[in-house]
Amino acid sequence: MAVPLVYNLRSIKVRWASTSVAVLGIAGAVAVFVAVLSLARGFELTLVESGSPRNALVRRAGASAEMESVVTLEQVRIIADAPGVARDRSGRPLVSAEVVAIGPFRHRASASEALAQVRGVSEEALRIRDNLRVSEGRFLRPGLAELVVGKNAAVLYEGFSLGESPRFGGRTWKVVGILDASGSAFDSEVWADARVLNQTFKRPEYIFQSVTVRLESPEALPAFEKALKADPRLTVQVDREDRYYAKQSRVVSTLIRVLGYLVAGVMAVGALFAALNTLYSALAARTREVAVLRALGFSPRDVVFSWLFEALVIALLGGLLGDLLVIPLNGLTTSTINWQTFSQIAFAFRVTPELLLRGLLFALAMGLVGGLPPALRAARIPVAAALREL
Amino acid sequence: MIRYLPLLLANVTRKKARLLLTVGSYAVALFLFGLLSAVDAAFSQGVEVAGADRLIVRNRVSLIMPLPISYRDRMLALPGVRTVTFATWFGGIYQEERNFFPNFAVDPDRYLETYPEFLVDPGQWADFLKDREACAVGQKLAQRFGWKVGDRIPLKGTIWPGVWEFNLRVIYRGSRPEDDEGQFWFRYDYLEERRPWGKGTVGWYIVRVTDPDRAAAVARAIDERFANSSYETAAETEKAFAAGFVRQMGNIQALILAIGSVVFFTLLLVTGNVMAITVRERLAEIGVLKTLGFSDGAVLGLLLLESCLYAAVGAALGLLGAKAFTLAGDPTGGLLVAFYVSWGRLGAGFLLALAVGLAAGLFPGLAAMRLKIVDALRRV
């Protein structure tokens, strides 16, 4: 017969002071664990959602990022005529040739200069991408020094709100629109007209750095890539857009993960010690209780389960508390530098139910490991000797 | 004092499990402290190693935009400028992209004298100056890929296409543990000879000033000298330049501080709880001690000492563990420039642990001090 669970619950309530120490320790470890995972997840999702499986990103062969690539106007035309490229109703290929640059802008939060990615585009940039729209104002007009600013960039940098006139690259611009890119990396970018940007940065007018192509379907990619590789006029590499962005996220998310796991791991060991200490101390104070239970006829196995249950309840409380602490972080936007593009990228914590569940499992594992040794010791208490202490 | 030592030791070692766990809690918390210090140092590494007499001069528009090579002589003509050297980012990839390390072309004549913290064997450096395809790498980088002097190392160009091969001539060391031993340098003239475009430009200049106190003024003079030209400059001290990068990483320090305080708060609770239990268990003993003539102060002192002893032993274990862990190398496999915890930080951690030990022992100790003998003995 099992020891009634109410016994454990009451005992936790009575010893709330020492229990809360173990609960807090576990909660801290769980909170750090889940927070770190949601940070890494948020960063990954921001970049992954920037790309679409239906788009292909074409760069010069060998260039690991857009910034290092060069594509001429002639090459853009050849790419647009390749098989598998989707066309609009009037038969125009859906292809966007783009230029990227980095501008040092005044970062509001740190009150110093931060680097932002500036993308030179044409109207096609919006047409080939899903989830992108101008939420306020209008799109920029070709040939003018106008900017459309991603909604995160508008918050991150001083002077980039709608209607303002920021200066960079030696000229004054006008912000005519705010871009809503549904949380993807484009939300951190500043968009300008490609030719105007090239003039500003003293580059040839018809040189681009990447060509993004809308394909008829994701399956059209291999044929498209083969056609480009076979063309002697091109030396390019082709990536599925979402894979290109996923690859970009790797360095930062690995960094966050490794450091986070390390810190959470060490904190877990600390929490384990707190749990063990609490339970051992509880055991020392409750030796007589255990002996009474045994004298009443509960078997050593019942005692082990009873103690383990208590440990798991403490761990669960800690896990829940830790999860609760992290939930408010969901959606909180922060920014860091993305080493692949050398520019700031804003991203949000994504606290998903799956991560919360992992936090709870982590807590239960701590409870199990921390509860077992005291439980086993409780079961081995010599009944007669313990009762004599009474 | 010393005569209380056996009593103290007997008390501490009475419950082995408790001793182990309490010391262990301290060890873990201080290990974490050491680890976070190392992470913090890794992110702010550039700021700490920055030379006070060095300025970084880059293109005003953007770090990735070049500056003309002719600026070197024009800057040398400015008052307060001692030497000028330069470097160009190459961005080459060794085997695969995840093997990232910084690689750039440097001015072979003056780069080394501008960075005296990097130690180089003079014979090796002479070889570097003789061989146009020579390269120099930091000791850590050489270890990471098992390179030896004389090896031929291919890098795949990303900015300039093709595979570039270099002869490893120099393995440099940092004179301080926080110096970056993960860089790859090669000769600017080799880059200049082979690259199809960008000839006659450099990525950034490093200017040494004659008087560090006037560094800001010299930086201003440089920017003014090239104002309204087609290549405007942004000059700043190396420290400001590095600090700018750290700020861009986001608020690492606040994060570390937050985690650190959570951990220390929890530690305080855990050890405070242990000391409270200890006092509760020993009520009768404390009564006996007082009966034997131990003063209130001595009782308090004994308990505080006991609490601090846990802290000291645990902290020493944890901090030394952290030191050993960081010496074993960077856990991210080369993403962090330096992974190092200084003895100063370790000392600060130790003092912090002692403070926690003192605080944890204080309340139970005060309770024990105020205890009346009658009350204590009544419970027996």
Q: What is the pLDDT of residues A113-129, one digit of tens each?
A: 778 889 999 988 998 99
Q: Which chain A residue has the Cα nearest residue B247?
A: A110
- Residue B252 corresponds to which amino acid? I
Shared domain check, B360 and B266: yes
The closest of A41, A33, A24 to A362, measured between CA atoms, is A33
CB burial of residue B20 (10 Å; 0-12, 13-18, 19+) = middle
Chain B hits for A266, Cβ within 8 Å: 28, 31-32, 35
CA distance A348 to A331: 5
With a cut of 60, say whether residue A390 has pLDDT above it.
no
Shared domain check, B364 and B255: yes
Shared domain check, B274 and B204: no
With a cut of 80, say whether residue A111 has pLDDT above it.
no
CA distance B194 to B122: 27
Chain B hits for A112, Cβ within 8 Å: 243-244, 247
Which pair of structure tokens corresponds to residue A9? 């619950």
B21–A64 C-beta distance less than 8 A: no
Rounded to the nearest integer, the mean pLDDT of chain A is 87
Shared domain check, B265 and B197: no
Residue A32 has a pLDDT of: 83
B51 part of a folded domain: no
B63–A102 C-beta distance less than 8 A: yes
Q: Is A25 on the interface with B (CB under 8 A)?
A: yes
B151: containing domain: 61-231
The count of other CB atoms within 10 Å of the CB of residue A227 is 18
- Residue B55 corresponds to which amino acid? L
A64–B97 C-beta distance less than 8 A: yes
The count of other CB atoms within 10 Å of the CB of residue A79 is 25
Single pTM value for the model: 0.76
Contact between B96 and B228 (Cβ < 8 Å): no
Give per-residue pLDDT as tens, A245-256: 888 887 778 878
Give per-residue pLDDT as tens, A332-377: 888 877 766 777 888 888 999 999 999 999 999 988 988 898 889 8
Chain A hits for B331, Cβ within 8 Å: 258-259, 262
B281–A284 C-beta distance less than 8 A: yes
Task: Please name the member of B36, B247, B277 whose beta carbon is closest to the beta carbon of A110.
Answer: B247
CA distance B69 to B78: 16
Total residue count of chain A as it appears in this document: 390
The count of other CB atoms within 10 Å of the CB of residue B363 is 13
A254–B335 C-beta distance less than 8 A: yes
The pLDDT-based confidence of A1 (bands split at 50, 70, 90) is low
The percentage of chain A sitting over the pLDDT mark of 70, rounded to a whole number, equals: 99
Query: Cβ neighbours of residue A353 under 8 Å, at least 6 residues apart?
Result: none
The count of other CB atoms within 10 Å of the CB of residue A100 is 24
B244 part of a folded domain: no
Total residue count of chain B as it appears in this document: 380
Classify A191 as helix, strand or coil. strand
- Residue A273 corresponds to which amino acid? F
State residue A315 phi and psi, 5-degree precision: -65, -40
Domain ranges (residues) in chain A: 5-48+250-388, 62-234
Query: Cβ neighbours of residue B346 under 8 Å, at least 6 residues apart?
Result: B34, B37, B319, B322, B323
The pLDDT-based confidence of A110 (bands split at 50, 70, 90) is confident
CA distance A186 to A47: 9
Shared domain check, B68 and B25: no
Shared domain check, B199 and B174: yes
The closest of A360, A187, A260 to A39, measured between CA atoms, is A260
Contact between A62 and B157 (Cβ < 8 Å): yes
Contacts by B73-76, CB closer than 8 A, 24 or more apart: B74/B225, B74/B226, B75/B205, B75/B207, B75/B222, B75/B225
B273–A21 C-beta distance less than 8 A: yes
Classify A166 as helix, strand or coil. coil
B266–A277 C-beta distance less than 8 A: no
- Residue B368 corresponds to which amino acid? A
Shared domain check, B225 and B356: no
Contact between A191 and A96 (Cβ < 8 Å): no
State residue A146 phi and psi, 5-degree precision: -115, 155
Give per-residue pLDDT as tens, A67-99: 778 899 999 999 999 999 999 989 899 999 999
Q: Which chain B residue has the Cα nearest residue A250?
A: B98
DSSP string, A311-351: HHHHHHHHHHHHHHHHGGGTT-EEEEEETTTTEEEEEE---
A270–B263 C-beta distance less than 8 A: yes
In angstroms, what separates the C-alpha of A108 from chain B's closest C-alpha? 12
Q: Is A169 on the interface with B (CB under 8 A)?
A: yes
Shared domain check, B312 and B200: no
Residue A227 has a pLDDT of: 92
Give per-residue pLDDT as tens, A214-224: 999 999 999 99
Which pair of structure tokens corresponds to residue B183? 């860089």
Task: Give a three-class secondary structure readout of chain B.
Answer: CHHHHHHHHHHHCCCHHHHHHHHHHHHHHHHHHHHHHHHHHHHHHHHHHCCCCEEEEEECCCCCCCEECCHHHHHHCCCCEEEEEEEEECCCECCCHHHCCCEEEECCCCHHHHCCCEECCHHHHHHHHHCCCEEEEEHHHHHHHCCCCCCEEEEECCCCCCEEEEEEEEEEEECCCCCCCCCEEEEHHHHHHHCCCCCCEECEEEEEECCHHHHHHHHHHHHHHCCCCCCCEEEEEHHHHHHHHHHHCCCHHHHHHHHHHHHHHHHHHHHHHHHHHHHHHCHHHHHHHHHCCCCHHHHHHHHHHHHHHHHHHHHHHHHHHHHHHHHCCCCCCCCCCCCCCCHHHHHHHHHHHHHHHHHHHHHHHHHHHHCCHHHHHHCC
Task: Please name the member of B61, B91, B162 whose beta carbon is closest to the beta carbon of A68.
Answer: B91
Contact between A181 and A154 (Cβ < 8 Å): no
CA distance B90 to B105: 7
Shared domain check, B277 and B227: no
Contact between B178 and B140 (Cβ < 8 Å): no
CA distance A320 to A324: 6
Shared domain check, B257 and B205: no
Shared domain check, B225 and B78: yes
B32–A266 C-beta distance less than 8 A: yes
Residue A327 has a pLDDT of: 93
Query: Cβ neighbours of residue A158 under 8 Å, at least 6 residues apart?
Result: A105, A106, A107, A108
CA distance A179 to A133: 6
B239 part of a folded domain: no
| Interfacial A residues in 217-236 facing B (CB < 8 Å) | 235
Q: Structurally, how many domains does chain B consist of? A: 2
B36 part of a folded domain: yes
Give per-residue pLDDT as tens, A200-213: 877 788 889 999 99
CA distance B224 to B229: 10
- How would you classify the pairing of strands B233-237 and B54-59? antiparallel
- The residue from B201, B231, B261 where one domain ends is B231
Shared domain check, B118 and B144: yes
pLDDT along chain B (380 residues), means of 10: 82 85 88 86 73 86 82 93 93 85 92 91 94 94 93 91 93 87 93 90 93 88 88 86 72 72 76 80 86 89 91 94 85 70 90 91 87 76
* Greater pLDDT, A278 or A288: A288
